[in-house]
Amino acid sequence: MLGWADHRSGPAALGVISFAESSFFPIPPDPLLLALSLGKPKKALLFAAICTLGSVLGGMFGYLLGSLLWSGIGDFFFTYIPGVSPESFATVQDWYQRWGFWAVFMAGFTPLPYKVFTLSSGVFAISFPIFVVASAISRGLRFFIEAGLVYFYGPPISRFIDRHFNRLAWAFGALLILGFFAVKLLH
């Protein structure tokens, strides 16, 4: 995948990989986003926009697959797509019932397998506008933070992100959840 970073079709590949990762492909677009951004730091924010748009459109496609075709293709996904299992779907359904928007948001921002959430959002008939808004905000936030850090700080921040991405994403998610619990307790 990183071979696309030096290719003139790299941005198009980023869009396609972002789309595919949101519905069926197991490899996230973050490494290609970072490689493209490092290669052309002044275009890092454009690459983040491409990544976000591809990811949100792919998420909408995943929602459509879950909504319209799940009864015919569910077994295929459970068998052949990494991260998609009956157990993960049961967990996601419970999260939707408890947290709705925030379940989609957390999946879009953190290392959770986002495709499980896009597919299951359609299966469980989550409000499509809420799904799209949560996806756009979370995926955009994730990709623009990565690209923005490269844009402003260059290669040293990229190495830091590569090494600590999962921990940083989980820490941000935990802080976000704690913030909402604090707000709820204050009201």
pLDDT one-digit tens code per residue, 86-122: 787 778 788 887 888 888 888 888 777 788 889 888 9
Tell me how many degrees the CA angle 39-30-55 measures, rounded to the nearest 5.
115
- The one-letter amino acid at 115: K
pTM: 0.78
The alpha carbon of residue 143 and the mean position of all alpha carbons in its chain are separated, in whole angstroms, by 9
Confidence band of 159 (pLDDT split at 50, 70, 90)? confident
What does DSSP assign to residue 41?
Answer: G
Give domain limits for the chain: 2-182
Mean pLDDT of 132-142: 95
Q: How far apart are CA 90 and CA 32, in angstroms?
A: 31
